[in-house]
Amino acid sequence: MLHGATSTAPPAWISRVIVGVLAVTGLAVDQWTKHLVLGELVPGEPVRVVGDVLTLQLHFNPGAAFSMGTQFTVVLSCLALGVLVAVSTLVAPRVRGRLLAVATGLLLAGVAGNLFDRLFRAPGPFLGHVVDFIALRGFAIFNVADMCITSAAGLFIIWSVLSERRR
């Protein structure tokens, strides 16, 4: 059983609700923002939001983070599908605690958001390119799903540190 970092974990059903609500909400926000930018942005024509630091810039990414592994789109799609199935069937039902529930929900949202692109966007199933559009100067172009995954990773680290302190 995966327990949260607090000494009094909420009932199991509350943790499951948190996971489910965050997973569905995060996926919906990710796909909604991608739908919006696909209708408004043109590849190669950035829109300044905060000077040159933050821009909206449409990019179609066949690879992973920082466009690495562009030749492995099918492998990345299969890995994402495996992670989605494993986390939703093996991890999520065992989650106890708010922090771990939030992290798990965000992870599911992020993985599902980018997997949706890989399955249903051009050039075709398991080959689809992920829609990225948030650009930070000197860093990367990413999307809401990527923010969910990164936030989940940070929360899992915090949960791990807090769990170690309790021991």
- The number of CA neighbours under 13 Å toward the Cβ of 8 is 0
Residue tagged active-site, from 30, 52, 117, 132: 132
pLDDT value at residue 9: 72
Give the pLDDT confidence of 28-38 residue by residue, as tens digits.
999 999 999 99
pLDDT value at residue 8: 64
Residue 95 or 7, more confident: 95
Annotated catalytic residue 117: no
Answer yes or no: are the C-beta atoms of 26 and 110 closer than 8 Å. Answer: yes
Give the pLDDT confidence of 49-105 residue by residue, as tens digits.
999 999 999 999 999 987 888 999 999 999 999 999 999 999 999 999 999 999 999
Q: Which two tokens stand for residue 130?
A: 């992920």
Distance, in Å, from the CA atom of 32 to the CA atom of 145, rounded to the nearest integer, reads 11
Residue tagged active-site, from 30, 52, 117, 146: 146
Running DSSP on this structure, what letter comes out for residue 93?
Answer: G
Give the pLDDT confidence of 128-147 residue by residue, as tens digits.
999 999 999 999 999 999 99
- Residue extents of the structural domains in the chain: 11-160
- Please, what's the b/e burial string for 139-161 (b: 16 or more CB within 10 A of its CB; e: otherwise)? eebbbbbbbbbebbeebbeebee
Answer yes or no: are the C-beta atoms of 141 and 134 closer than 8 Å. Answer: yes
Give the pLDDT confidence of 36-52 residue by residue, as tens digits.
999 999 999 999 999 99
- Cα-flanking dihedrals φ and ψ of residue 141, to 5°? -110, 130
pLDDT at 1 over 90: no
Distance, in Å, from the CA atom of 154 to the CA atom of 75, rounded to the nearest integer, reads 25
pLDDT band at 3 (very low <50, low <70, confident <90, very high): low
- Residue 55 β-bridge partners: 48, 135
What is the amino acid identity at position 14? I
Annotated catalytic residue 30: no
